[in-house]
Structure 1
Amino acid sequence: MTEMDKDEIIFGFHRYVKSPTPSDVSWWVRAFPQFADDIREHAVEIIDMEALATARDDELFRLATEG
């Protein structure tokens, strides 16, 4: 597999897995074991970005409703 193949797999992961669960990650890792570390890293990245977005939304809501 080439670097381009890896990019296509990771792109597909991001396209089809909007909010990764352990089952999602497990399926993708079993399907593409040669990219397991990359898939896991991207899953964590997605989850981290969701957490940051939620924290920002919560903070903006708190600020908007304080006064």
Structure 2
Amino acid sequence: MDQKKIDRINELARKAKEGPLTPEETEERAALRTEYVKAFRESLRSQLDGITVLEPDGTKHPLKRK
């Protein structure tokens, strides 16, 4: 997700605090938030997939999913 979209999310959040958003802005905000959450989850999953656990006996293995 690029910085322009994040800035737009923040702009809409500030505007929503000041007063009601138009239906188009509300729709845009929802779409941007969905895209942001998706990108955040993908980034987190990628980071977690790259983690290896080092056991006291010196063996390494990837972090297991719950």
Q: Which runs of 5+ in 1 are unaligned?
A: 1-13, 31-35
Higher relative contact order (CA 8 A, sep 6+): 1
Structure with greater helix share of residues: 1
- Structure 2: gaps (5+ residues): 53-61
How many aligned positions are there?
A: 47
Runs of 4+ off more than 3 Å = 25-30
Identity of counterpart residues, as a percentage?
4
C-alpha distance after superposition, 1:25-59 (max 9, x if no partner)? 455856xxxxx111100001111111010000000
Q: What TM-score, normalized by structure 2, do the two folds share? A: 0.53
Q: What is the RMSD computed on CA atoms of the aligned residues?
A: 2.6
Pick the structure with more strand per residue: 2
Larger Rg: 2
